[in-house]
Every structure is written in structure tokens, then in C-alpha cells.
């Protein structure tokens, strides 16, 4: 029983950064912008988040640092793709290359340092309930934020007028513009939201997942978050399922190593990446009838005056 | 009043020529600011990066050695990008080529094998790189899976596979437990061009690849097809060109070139297989391809320039204790400026006084 509880807790922890980053990217993509720089924004968020927490001793300030760093990175992306109409794929790659370098530069002074990680909730009585207590009432703040975030995004996209307009920009920017909506401004906000989420997701890693910073600690999670958005068919509900499934694969991989199965550890470590490829293929195949992606995703829009 | 983009009637040839130079200029200015923030003398840092490596023979050879894989990979990537196929997993194809070629080297170690070993390694590496690149290409063509994500995921897989081999079955028994194979036999090594130097035969192969790509793109129907499918997909469809075939073809060619670059690096400058054989060549080659504006000759120049930044970065680290990550920041910023300046080829800036009008989008 304790093993199951431990596994569920570990899966939640491994899924949370994926869920936060993917939720942000989902909003960005719903507005019609494909930002492939999630990995870059996450890794800068991780370095800045750790720096913030180490300098101030506060995980909360660290998380804020991560959010601001991710948002700044996304503003560069917005300036390039929305302001200068540069190809979104190439700019996203550039953002990742830049992010990896910046993160190494910022984090260099912090390698080997440790901080006190985010505290877990403890409500006397509730947290002590066997099995579900720790899982529901004993998580760190990031886990609850990630759930609130995805519910909030669902509500925003499907229950508010602003969400409807944002989706309209993603499906047909020409019509949205003709109706008088400021497509580029809406997309800029969507990109910034994606950046803030990616920064927070990155900050989660050194602030809650491990209490230290190592270069390259995002290890492709930003790319997996991008794949999750495809997996979810651009819908928040399915995103939750996808993120927890991938968290489970990651944890399975770690536990299998512990159980001493005769498979080399590198093959188990490759599992999340292979799973991503297989999932992408299966999903794309199932959807061969028509794509569920926002119709204007990745296309350049220059208002004609 | 606001600054807006206005589409030019036709692409500006003059700006197309000078835009990489503007981009490099802006990058240097940005780097000066960054050096100042890091508390280093910007002039000395720039000297260490761009001038010092050009002043002695050893560094010049080293630049050519570093440029070799960059140019070979970037040539392949440029074919993909011209055809609108987004291969960003060249790093994985590079590693798989290195692994496949090393297999022959490891198996023939100390067996008095003949001169066939190196050619066989090169062929096998190219084939392995091509096959590894075909996975995302086929997933894209058959199932519509994003080639961007699948090719990138396979980089991590290739990295772990190489790691497994050199820590497990291929580890040098006399290697003091380091994760590496034994040094390759002389027949399994890329010959040097200058006795006692660093320059090797791979640089000649890279030049041949550049020439071949220039002929392919400039003189053949296939090259025309690649460019037309990328530039005007609809026109290409009417012309009877099949975009799917081109995705397969360009991915295979770029994978083969990346694989070849991988084995040349391992059997040349490195001399044995180990983790960390690539300081991100596959990703830096993306910058090389764009900086060279997807043109073979441009890529050759851009490859030499980025190789200079690698060597300069190492020199700046030794001489001025500037962190090596500055090189990556530099390369990222350079790619941003290249892309931004390219925008000026198609658009011009204009001050406008907005009043709401019906508009149309552009692709």
C-alpha cells in the first residue's frame, strides 16, 4: 500500500512540470502561434528560479523569478514572430539554443548549491488519511497550482468571450482581424502566458523536484510538453490525462531500474522519448481523417493596411 | 502612430546579400554588452573570440576541423529546409552514424584488417544516419506525425544508445573503467592531410559535399523540385512534384551526411567512441544553414565562422575565464538576428496611423 502511495506521489511530481508547460503552450497554440522554444524557456526558468530562491531563501520568490524569466524569453519570441513576421519554427529553435546557453551562464555559479525545497502541505487529520491523504492533501504548492491552472484555462477557453476570441484568432486570423479583433496583440498575450507557464514549469524542477540545479536539467521535458499538446488534440481535459500518463512512464522507468530488471538503464531512460514518438504516430494515424489543430497554427499574419 | 510591416512587391536582392553581415554586426554589439555585464574587457574578449584564433597555424587548422562536421550536416539540413521538411534531429543522426561506423572499427580491432576498413565505416555510417533520419520522415509521410518532435526525441534515444554501448559491450577493457572504446587502429582512422597537424581528409570530403550540393541545387531538375516544393507548394502540386517523396529524399540525404560527419569526427579528431563526441554539432548546424541562407557556398562560409566562435570561445575561456556557455548564447543570439534581418528581405518597416480597415492575411 505504501509503495502504491509512493508511486502515485512520484507520478504527480514528475507530471506537474509537463502539465504546467503544456497548459501554457496549449493557450499559445490555440491563438495560432507555434512556439517550439518551450525547452529553452523552461531551462532559463529553472536557472532563474533556482537563483531567485537561493538569493532570497524563498521558494515563492524563486517561482516568480522563473515566471518572469520565461515571460521575458517569450517576449523575444513574440517580437520576432509577431512583430517581424519571422518563421515560427526557426525562431522557436533559436529560442531553445539561446535558452540552453543562457541557463548555463546564469546557473554556472549555482551548481553544487542546495536550497530547501518547496514544503508539502500538511493538514492535521486530512493529510493523515491512509492512501488518499498524502496524495490529495500533502502535495507541494506547484501541484495545486498546476491543477488550478488547467481548470482556469479550460474555463477561459470555453466559457468566456475572451477565450472564444482567442480561439477565433487561432482558427482564422483573417476573419478575426476583419471583425476588428487585435490579432497580434491577443497572440502576444497568449505567447507571454505560454512563456510564464514554461518558466514556472522550469522553476519547479530545482525548487520542488530536486533541491539543486544542474545544467540541462529539463532533459527534453519542454519537447515532451509540446508533444503532449498534440496528444491532447489541443484540449485541456485530455492534457491532464496525457501529462499523468507521461509522468507515469518516467516513474516506471526509474522504478524498473530499482527493481533490478535485467534491462540496461539507458534503455529504460529512453522510454519516455520512445513513448513520445509512438504516441505521436498512433495519434496522427488515428486522426488521418482531419487535423484537430487550430487552422492558423504556425502561419504568419501581417495585417494589411 | 505605430511601426508596421509592409510586404515588398518583390524580395530585395540587395538586403538578401547584406543581411547576414548586419546580423553578425548586431550580434557583436550585443556580445560587447554581455561581456561588459560579465565584467570582462569587451575589446580583449572580442580579440580572443575573433582575432586570436586566426593568428596561428594550429588554430586555423582547428577551425577547419570544427567546420567540417558543421558544414556537412548543414548542407543536408539546408536541403530539408528548402523542401519545407523540418529535420531538427541531425544530432541524433550524427551520433548513430558514429556508432554504426565505430562498430566496424571495434570489431576489426587488432585483426590486421586491410585498407577496406575505413571506406566500409564511412559507407555504413552514412547508411545508418540515413536510416535513422528515415524514421521521422516515414512517420511524417505515412501517419502525419510532426517530424520536428519525432526527429528531436530520437536525439535523446541515440545519445542513450551510444552511452550504453561505451559503458557496456564496447568498453575498452584497458580503459581504467572510463566509458570509451579503445583507440581505433590506424586502418580505421581518417588520414591526416598535414603530417603532425590536425587537418584531415574529412575537410576535403566536406568541400566535395558543398560542390555536389551546389550542382544539385543549381543545375539539376531535382534541385529545382526541392526549391519549388518549399517555396510554392501549390504550384509544385500542379507541376506534378510530390512533396512526400521529397521529404523522404531530403531526410535520407541529410541523415546520411550527418552520419558521415559523425564517423569522420570519431575516426578523425577524436580517435575513439565515447559520450560527448559532439558539442551540439547537429544543433549548431541549424544556425549554419540559416546563416548561410540555405546556399551551399554560404553554408561553407557560415560553417567556418561558427567554427571560429567555438575555437574563440575555448581561447576566451583559457585566456580570460569567460564561461564556455557564452559561445552558445552567442550562437543563439546570432540565429535571432539572422532571422530578424531576413524579415527585411520580404518586408519593409513603415510608420502608420492606424484606422480600422478590412485586411487580408498573408502566408
Give the closest of B7, B163, B358 to A178, CB-based. Answer: B358
B 16-55 residues with CB < 8 A to A: none
Rounded to whole angstroms, the Cα distance separating A95 from A47 reads 15
The nearest CA of chain B is from the CA of A258 a distance in Å of 17
Point out the residue among B145, B157, B339 whose CB comes nearest to the CB of A86.
B339
Q: Do A300 and B363 touch (CB under 8 A)?
A: yes
Task: Outline where chain A has alpha helix (H).
Answer: 2-30, 38-56, 59-78, 88-107, 132-137, 141-159, 161-171, 173-178, 183-204, 221-231, 236-259, 265-269, 271-286
Q: When comparing pLDDT for A90 and A151, which is higher? A: A151
Query: Closest-CA residue in chain B for A92?
Result: B336
Question: Does A158 contact B at CB distance below 8 Å?
Answer: no
CB contact (8 A) between residue B328 and residue A100: yes
How far from chain centre, in Å, is Cα B106? 27
Say whether A267 and B164 touch across the interface (CB within 8 A).
yes
Does the CB of A274 have a partner CB in chain B at under 8 Å? yes
Q: Is A295 on the interface with B (CB under 8 A)?
A: no
Confirm or reject contact between A178 and chain B (CB < 8 A): yes
Q: Which residue of A has its CA nearest to B281?
A: A97
Contact B359 A274 (CB under 8 A): no
Interface ipTM: 0.88
Q: Does any CB of chain A come closer than 8 Å to the CB of residue B145?
A: yes
Q: Does A162 touch chain B (CB under 8 A)?
A: no
Judge: B144–A302 Cβ closer than 8 Å, yes or no: no
Interface contact flag, A94 B332, Cβ < 8 Å: yes
How distant is the Cα of A118 from the closest Cα of chain B, in angstroms? 29
Report the pLDDT value the prediction gives residue A292, as an integer from 0 to 100: 77
Q: How far is A226 from chain B (nearest CA, A)?
A: 8
Q: Which portions of chain B are predicted below pLDDT 70?
A: 1-3, 12, 351-363
**What confidence score (pLDDT) does residue B229 get?**
84
Rounded to an integer, the average pLDDT of A15-35 is 96
Q: Among B150, B343, B356, whose Cβ lies nearest the Cβ of A86?
A: B343
- Answer whether B261 touches A (CB < 8 Å): no
pLDDT at B206: 96
The reported pLDDT for the residue numbered A135 is 74
Nearest-Cα residue of chain B relative to residue A108: B323
Any chain A CB within 8 A of the CB of B148? Answer: yes
A272 falls in which pLDDT band (50, 70, 90)? confident
Q: Which member of A80, A285, A302 has the closest CB to residue B340? A: A80
First to last CA, chain B: 25
Mutate to test the interface with A, among B339, B349, B353 (most CBs of A within 10 A): B339
Contacts of B286 in chain A (CB under 8 A): 93, 97
Distance from CA of B130 to the nearest CA of A (A): 18
Chain A, nearest residue to B143 by Cα = A285
B22, B141, B325, B356: best mutation site toward chain A, by most A Cβ within 10 Å? B325
Q: Which pLDDT value is given to residue B353? A: 60
Q: What is the 3-state secondary structure (H, E, C) of B254-294?
A: HHHHHHHHHHHHHHHHHCCCCCCCCCCHHHHHHHHHHHCCC
Work out the angle at residue A101's Cα, subtended by the Cα atoms of residues A96 and A103, and round it to the nearest 5 degrees. Answer: 90
Q: Using CB atoms, which residue from B153, B333, B346 is nearest to A98?
A: B333
A99 vs A52: CA distance, rounded Å: 17
For range A98-107, the mean pLDDT: 92
Predicted confidence at residue B358, as pLDDT, reads 47
pLDDT (mean) for A4-16: 88
Please, which residues have CB within 8 angstroms of residue B242's CB and are 6 or more apart in sequence?
A: none
**Interface check B333 vs A, CB under 8 A:** yes
Residue A120 three-state SS: strand
> How big is chain B, counted in residues?
363
Q: Which residue of A has its CA nearest to B88?
A: A93
pLDDT, one tens digit per residue, over A190-245 is: 999 999 999 999 999 999 999 899 988 998 899 999 989 988 889 999 999 999 99
Q: Do A97 and B283 touch (CB under 8 A)?
A: yes
Q: Residue A87's closest chain B neighbor by CA?
A: B339
Measure the CA–CA gap between A235 and A229, rounded to whole angstroms: 8
Chain B nearest-CA distance from A160, in A, is 25
Min distance B124 CA to chain A CA atoms (Å): 23
Q: What is the pLDDT of residues A130-150, one digit of tens each?
A: 777 777 777 888 999 999 999
Tell whether B199 is within 8 A of chain A (Cβ).
no
The alpha-carbon gap from A97 to the nearest alpha carbon of chain B, in Å, equals 5
Q: Does B171 touch chain A (CB under 8 A)?
A: no
Cβ <8 Å between B286 and A174? no
* Rounded-to-integer distance, Cα A109 and Cα A122, Å: 33
Q: What is the pLDDT of residue A288?
A: 59
Residues on chain B touching A93 (C-beta within 8 angstroms): 88, 283, 286, 335
Q: How confident is the model at residue A291 (pLDDT cuts 50, 70, 90)?
A: low
Average pLDDT of the segment spanning A256-266: 74
Per-residue DSSP letter, A297: T
Amino acid at each position: 500500500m505504501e509503495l502504491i502511495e509512493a508511486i502515485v506521489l512520484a507520478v504527480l511530481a514528475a507530471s506537474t512540470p509537463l502539465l504546467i508547460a503544456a497548459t501554457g503552450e496549449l493557450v499559445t497554440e490555440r491563438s495560432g502561434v507555434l512556439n517550439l522554444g518551450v525547452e529553452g524557456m523552461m531551462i532559463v526558468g529553472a536557472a532563474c528560479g533556482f537563483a531567485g530562491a537561493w538569493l532570497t531563501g524563498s521558494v515563492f520568490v524563486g517561482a516568480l523569478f522563473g515566471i518572469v524569466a520565461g515571460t521575458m524569453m517569450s517576449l523575444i519570441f513574440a517580437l520576432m514572430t509577431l512583430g517581424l513576421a519571422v518563421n515560427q519554427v526557426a525562431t522557436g529553435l533559436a529560442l531553445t539554443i539561446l535558452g540552453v546557453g543562457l541557463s548555463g551562464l546564469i546557473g554556472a555559479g549555482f551548481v553544487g548549491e542546495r536550497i530547501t525545497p518547496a514544503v508539502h502541505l500538511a493538514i492535521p487529520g486530512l493529510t493523515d488519511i491512509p492512501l488518499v491523504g498524502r496524495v490529495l492533501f500533502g502535495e507541494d504548492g506547484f501541484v495545486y497550482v498546476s491543477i488550478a491552472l488547467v481548470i482556469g484555462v479550460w474555463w477561459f477557453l470555453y466559457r468566456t468571450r475572451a477565450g472564444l476570441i482567442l480561439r477565433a484568432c487561432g482558427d482564422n486570423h483573417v476573419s478575426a482581424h476583419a471583425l476588428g479583433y487585435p490579432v497580434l496583440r491577443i497572440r502576444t498575450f497568449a505567447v507571454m502566458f505560454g512563456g510564464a507557464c514554461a518558466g514556472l514549469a522550469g522553476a519547479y524542477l530545482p525548487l520542488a523536484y530536486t533541491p539543486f540545479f544542474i545544467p540541462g536539467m529539463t532533459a527534453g521535458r519542454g519537447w515532451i510538453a509540446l508533444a503532449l499538446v498534440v496528444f491532447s488534440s489541443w484540449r485541456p481535459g485530455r492534457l491532464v490525462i496525457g501529462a499523468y500518463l507521461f509522468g507515469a512512464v518516467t516513474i516506471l522507468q526509474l522504478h524498473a531500474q530499482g527493481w533490478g530488471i535485467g534491462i540496461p538503464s539507458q534503455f529504460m531512460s529512453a522510454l519516455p522519448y520512445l513513448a513520445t514518438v509512438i504516441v505521436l504516430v498512433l495519434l496522427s494515424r488515428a486522426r488521418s481523417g482531419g487535423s484537430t489543430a487550430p487552422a492558423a497554427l504556425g502561419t504568419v499574419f501581417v495585417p494589411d493596411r | 502612430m505605430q511601426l508596421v510591416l509592409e510586404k515588398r512587391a518583390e524580395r530585395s536582392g540587395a538586403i538578401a546579400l547584406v543581411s547576414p553581415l548586419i546580423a553578425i554586426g548586431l550580434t557583436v554589439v550585443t556580445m560587447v554588452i554581455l561581456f561588459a555585464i560579465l565584467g570582462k574587457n569587451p575589446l580583449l574578449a572580442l580579440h580572443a573570440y575573433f582575432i586570436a584564433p586566426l593568428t596561428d597555424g594550429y588554430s586555423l587548422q582547428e577551425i577547419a576541423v570544427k567546420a567540417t562536421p558543421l558544414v556537412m550536416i548543414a548542407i543536408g539540413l539546408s536541403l530539408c529546409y528548402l523542401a519545407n521538411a523540418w529535420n531538427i534531429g541531425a544530432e541524433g543522426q550524427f551520433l548513430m552514424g558514429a556508432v554504426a561506423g565505430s562498430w566496424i572499427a571495434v570489431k576489426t580491432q587488432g585483426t590486421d584488417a586491410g585498407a577496406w576498413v575505413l571506406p566500409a565505416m564511412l559507407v555504413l555510417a552514412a547508411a545508418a544516419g540515413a536510416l535513422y533520419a528515415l524514421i521521422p520522415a516515414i512517420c511524417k509521410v505515412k501517419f502525419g506525425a510532426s517530424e520536428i518532435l519525432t526527429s528531436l526525441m530520437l536525439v535523446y534515444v541515440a545519445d542513450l544508445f551510444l552511452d550504453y554501448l561505451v559503458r557496456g559491450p564496447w568498453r575498452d577493457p584497458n580503459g581504467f573503467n572510463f566509458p570509451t572504446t579503445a583507440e581505433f587502429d590506424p586502418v580505421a582512422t581518417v588520414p591526416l592531410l598535414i603530417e603532425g597537424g590536425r587537418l584531415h581528409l574529412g575537410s576535403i570530403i566536406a568541400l566535395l559535399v558543398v560542390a555536389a550540393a551546389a550542382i544539385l541545387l543549381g543545375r539539376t531538375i531535382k534541385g529545382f523540385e526541392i526549391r519549388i516544393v518549399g517555396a510554392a507548394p501549390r504550384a509544385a502540386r500542379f507541376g506534378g512534384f510530390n512533396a512526400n517523396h521529397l521529404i523522404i529524399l531530403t531526410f535520407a540525404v541529410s541523415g546520411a551526411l550527418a552520419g558521415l560527419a559523425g564517423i569522420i569526427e570519431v575516426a578523425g579528431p577524436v580517435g575513439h567512441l565515447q559520450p560527448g563526441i559532439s558539442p551540439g554539432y547537429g544543433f549548431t548546424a541549424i544556425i549554419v544553414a540559416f546563416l548561410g541562407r540555405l546556399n551551399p557556398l554560404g553554408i561553407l562560409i557560415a560553417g567556418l565562422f561558427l567554427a571560429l566562435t567555438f575555437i574563440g570561445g575555448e581561447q576566451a575561456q583559457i585566456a580570460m575565464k569567460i564561461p564556455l556557455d557564452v559561445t552558445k548564447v552567442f550562437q543563439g543570439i546570432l540565429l535571432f538576428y539572422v532571422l530578424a534581418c531576413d524579415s527585411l528581405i520580404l518586408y519593409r518597416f513603415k510608420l502608420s496611423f492606424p484606422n480600422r480597415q478590412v485586411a487580408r492575411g498573408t502566408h
